Amino acid sequence: MEDCLQRLKNVQVLNDWEDSKLDELCRRIKPVSYGKGTLIVRKNEPISEVLFVLKGNLWTGTSTATDHGNGGNVETFGKELVLWIRDHPQSFSLPISSSTVKAVENVEAFALTAEDLKYVWVNIQNNH
């Protein structure tokens, strides 16, 4: 749990969230894996989750991003979902992806769904 909290604090779009909210996100985060060639998000389709890539390569738009999770920053995809939740917590629609994301090789990641992010943002209060 401590490792999860620290990783989330290192994600720029989450670093201003209270620890109580980040702790709850850690309880809701789920491991996911994608096989080589898996289409994760299509351009102009809703973004339904944020991915924290631990191992593998994802292609997004015209670039390839890599992170093998060896203690450094974890590559994050779907940051715009976090910003959308913060700015539109009562909205029922999801933000639209500006790029396609595809697994170049097998990918291991953690995911947070839009529902979990929204629940935590709206319902979890700061413990200070």
Q: Is 97 helix (H, G, I), strand (E, B) or coil?
A: coil
Band (pLDDT 50/70/90 cuts) for residue 61 is confident
| Assigned domain for 104 exists | yes
Band (pLDDT 50/70/90 cuts) for residue 8 is confident
What's the rounded mean pLDDT across residues 14-42?
93
Q: Is 110 helix (H, G, I), strand (E, B) or coil?
A: strand
| Assigned domain for 6 exists | no
Inform me whether the pLDDT recorded for 63 exceeds 60. no
Inform me whether the pLDDT recorded for 69 exceeds 70. no
In the chain, the number of structural domains is: 1
Residue 76 has a pLDDT of 82
Q: What percent of the chain has pLDDT over 90?
A: 52
DSSP state of 83: H
CATH number reported for the structural domain that contains residue 88 in this entry: 2.60.120.10
| Assigned domain for 20 exists | no
**Which of 34-38, 39-43, 69-73, 83-87 has the least mean pLDDT?**
69-73
Residue 35 has a pLDDT of 97
Inform me whether the pLDDT recorded for 107 exceeds 60. yes
| Assigned domain for 24 exists | no
What's the rounded mean pLDDT across residues 92-114?
92
The residue length of the chain stands at 128
DSSP 47-66: --EEEEEEESEEEETTEEEE
Domain that holds residue 109: 31-116
pTM for the predicted model, two decimal places: 0.80
Q: For 84, phi and psi rounded to 5 degrees? A: -65, -45
Residue given tokens 């974890």 in the structure block: 74
